[in-house]
Amino acid sequence: MAEFWDGYLWPTIWTVIKIVAIVLPVMLSVAYLTLAERKVIASMHLRRGPNVVGPWGLLQPMADGLKLFLKEIVIPTGASRGVFIIAPMLTLILALIAWAVIPFSETMVLSNLNVGVLYLFAVSGLGVYGILMAGWASNSKYAFLGSLRSAAQMVSYEVSMGFIIITVLVFTGSLNLVDIVKAQEDVWFMFPLFPFAVMFFISCVAETNRHPFDLPEAEAELVGGYNVEYGGMAFALFFLGEYANMIMMSAFTAVLFMGGWLPPFEFLSFIPGPIWLILKICFLLFVFIWLRAAYPRYRYDQLMRLGWKVFLPLSLAGVIIASGVAVYGGFAPGLQ
Partner 1 sequence: MIVQALAFYLFAAVTVASAVMVITAKNPVHSVLFLVLAFFNTAGLFVLMGAEFLAMLLVVVYCGAVTVLFLFVVMMLDINFVELRQGFLQYLPLGATIGIILLAELAVVMGGWHFAPEAAKAGAAPIPAIETMTNTHALGAVLYTDYIYLFQAAGLVLLVGMIGAIVLTHRKRTGVRRQVIADQVNIDVKDVAEFKKVESGKGV
Neighbours of 88 (CB within 10 A): 24
| Residue in 201, 98, 95, 215 with CA at minimum distance from that of residue 153 | 215
**Under 8 Å between Cβ of 131 and 226:** yes
Which part of the chain contacts partner 1 (CB under 8 A), choosing from 17-25, 145-153, 195-203, 228-236? 145-153
**Under 8 Å between Cβ of 225 and 216:** yes
Residues 166-195 that bind partner 1 (CB under 8 A): 174-175
Which part of the chain contacts partner 1 (CB under 8 A), choosing from 34-42, 116-124, 260-268, 283-291? 116-124
CA torsion, points 13, 19, 24, 25, in degrees to nearest 10? Answer: 130
Backbone angles phi and psi of 228, in degrees to 5? -65, -30
Q: Smallest distance from the beta carbon of 179 to partner 1, in angstroms?
A: 10
Judged by CB under 8 A, which of 72, 186, 266, 301 binds partner 1? 301
Asked if 46 touches partner 1 (CB under 8 A), the answer is: yes
Asked if 308 touches partner 1 (CB under 8 A), the answer is: no
Residues 54-93 that bind partner 1 (CB under 8 A): 80, 83
| Residue in 269, 288, 264, 258 with CA at minimum distance from that of residue 191 | 258
Q: Smallest distance from the beta carbon of 25 to partner 1, in angstroms?
A: 26
Number of alpha carbons in the 13 Å side-chain half-sphere of residue 12: 5
Pick between residue 12 and residue 269 the one whose CB is nearest to partner 1: 12
Judged by CB under 8 A, which of 110, 118, 312, 325 binds partner 1? 118
Q: Smallest distance from the beta carbon of 63 to partner 1, in angstroms?
A: 29
Phi-psi group of 254: left, alpha or beta (phi > 0 → left; psi -120 to 50 → alpha; rest → beta): alpha
Query: Using alpha carbons only, what angle is made at residue 211 by residues 286 and 278, rounded to the nearest 5 degrees?
Result: 25
Q: Smallest distance from the beta carbon of 168 to partner 1, in angstroms?
A: 14
Asked if 133 touches partner 1 (CB under 8 A), the answer is: yes
**Residue ranges binding partner 1 (CB under 8 A):** 8, 46, 80, 83, 113-115, 118-119, 121-122, 125-126, 128-129, 132-133, 136, 144, 148, 151-152, 154-155, 158, 174-175, 301-302, 305, 334
